[in-house]
Structure 1
Amino acid sequence: MKRSEINQIMRAADAFFRSQNFHLPPFAYWSPDEWRKKGPEADEIVQHRLGWDITDFGRGRFCKCGLVIFTIRNGAVADLQAGRGKLYCEKILMLQHDQVCPMHFHWQKMEDIINRGGGDLHVQVYHSTPAEDVDDRPVTLRVDGVLRTVDAGTAIRLQPGESITILPGCYHKLWGWRHDVLMGEVSLVNDDDRDNRFLASVGRFATIEEDERPLFLLRDDYERFWGKD
């Protein structure tokens, strides 16, 4: 992805979040120059990978296969392993109309996926096999706390306000319908570097062509700017 495209997507996502009365924390808008002046006070943002995460999953077609993620809060994997500390994560995401987040599961993370506004959200689900393929067994899960059993491959439609709980090992594919979707995620500690298993071969993070200056930093930009003043 070109940096100019990422900057444009950030502007559009921020406008969409605001249109849905969702407001990002101040660090979302720190410029590269402001990051150069930050010191140890910002270490949690860097170490826990809070902030912007925009990806086309290596497909080069963001409008068809991509996601805007902003991680608001996140604990450390070490805390999760110790069973104490900040054991949770919260994200806000924009999923565009007809845009797909590819089929994947997590080995460790349990999550609630929430339609917080906009269009309808579709969540297609499968169990995984021990060989990490899709399974044809029916899937039992909870939608807003209510137990449901659906056939393998069912796409569950979530309207604004509805949510689904995804267990570790449950394959899920997401797409928006009718309008862009404001999607929330509340989960155990998130580790995007190691806890994603995609069914097809994709890249979790975008490869960036630096054709202009970053508007705001992505989660993988921090080390180039943080405290470099």
Structure 2
Amino acid sequence: MKRSEINAIMAEAGAFIRSFGFVLPPFANWSPEEMRARRGQIDGIVSGRLGWDITDYGQGRYGELGLFLFTLRNGRLADLKRGGGMCYAEKLLISKRDQLSPMHRHHLKAEDIINRGGATLAIELFGSAPDGSFDGAAGGTVFCDGIARDFSPGEVLMLAPGESVTLMPGDWHAFWGEGGDVLIGEVSTVNDDETDNWFREPIGRFAEIEEDVAPTHLLVSDYRTWL
């Protein structure tokens, strides 16, 4: 992806989020220079990988295959392993109309996916094989706003604004905006995007960036090299 495209997506996403009454935290507005100047104060942001995350999964087709995310808070894997402390994470996502977030599962993370507003959120579901791999013949059970719902393999769950689904580790899922753009909330156990995303197809989690202009704000994937 070109950096100019990422900058434009950030501006558009910020306006879309505000239109539903959500406000991003102050650090969302910091420039790369301000983040560098505050580097001694922001270990929690950097280590938790809080902030902007825009991906085309390395495929160069963001409008068709991509996702906008902003990580608002993220706990510590050490706390999760010992069973106490900050064991949770929260994100805002935007799924554009017919923009696919491809089929994947998580090994550790359980997550509530919530339609916060906009169009319908479509989620395609499969269960796992006994070893956790993708099984096109496997269904399963999820909870939608606390109510158990069985699903057949490949069933598409349609969530209207206000509705949610709880996905457990091993639940294979892909999703997109049906009929328009959707603001999505994600509340989960500790999030690790570097190691806990298992895709059905051999694709990457992060975009490759072409630096055609300076960044307006840094992506979480920029922190290692920019800070």
Q: What's the TM-score, normalizing by structure 2?
A: 0.97
- Corresponding residue number in structure 2 for 1:162: 163
The answer to whether the Cα contact below 8 Å between 1:50 and 1:73 also exists between their aligned partners in 2 is yes
SS at match of 1:175: strand
Instruction: Determine if the alignment matches structure 1 residue 176 to structure 2 residue 180.
Output: no
Superposition pairs of residues 117-196 of structure 1, within 5 angstroms: 117-129=117-129, 130=131, 132-196=133-197
- Corresponding residue number in structure 2 for 1:101: 101
The answer to whether the Cα contact below 8 Å between 2:112 and 2:187 also exists between their aligned partners in 1 is yes
- Corresponding residue number in structure 2 for 1:216: 217
Figure out how many residues of one structure are paired with residues of the other and give that number: 226
Q: What's the TM-score, normalizing by structure 1?
A: 0.96
Amino acid at match of 2:219: L
Take 2:44 and 2:16, find their aligned partners in 1: how far apart are those partners?
26
1:166-198 Cα deviation digits (max 9, x unpaired):
010110000101111000000000000010100
Take 1:39 and 1:209, find their aligned partners in 2: how far apart are those partners?
25
Identity %: 51
1:111-157 Cα deviation digits (max 9, x unpaired):
00000000000111111112612241331111110011121110000
Amino acid at match of 1:86: M
The answer to whether the Cα contact below 8 Å between 2:95 and 2:183 also exists between their aligned partners in 1 is yes
Amino acid at match of 1:148: R
Amino acid at match of 1:44: G
Amino acid at match of 2:47: Q
After TM superposition, where is structure 1 displaced by more than 3 Å over at least 4 residues in a row?
223-226
SS at match of 2:42: helix
SS at match of 1:183: strand
- Corresponding residue number in structure 2 for 1:67: 67
Structure 1: which 5+ residue stretches go unaligned? none
Take 2:223 and 2:134, find their aligned partners in 1: how far apart are those partners?
35
Q: Pairwise CA RMSD of aligned residues?
A: 1.1
The answer to whether the Cα contact below 8 Å between 1:122 and 1:156 also exists between their aligned partners in 2 is yes
Take 2:180 and 2:138, find their aligned partners in 1: how far apart are those partners?
32
- Corresponding residue number in structure 1 for 2:6: 6
The answer to whether the Cα contact below 8 Å between 1:35 and 1:225 also exists between their aligned partners in 2 is no
The answer to whether the Cα contact below 8 Å between 2:119 and 2:177 also exists between their aligned partners in 1 is yes
Kindly state the Cα deviation for residue 224 of structure 1 after the two structures are TM-superposed: 3.8
SS at match of 1:90: strand
Amino acid at match of 1:101: S
The answer to whether the Cα contact below 8 Å between 2:134 and 2:172 also exists between their aligned partners in 1 is no
Amino acid at match of 1:140: T
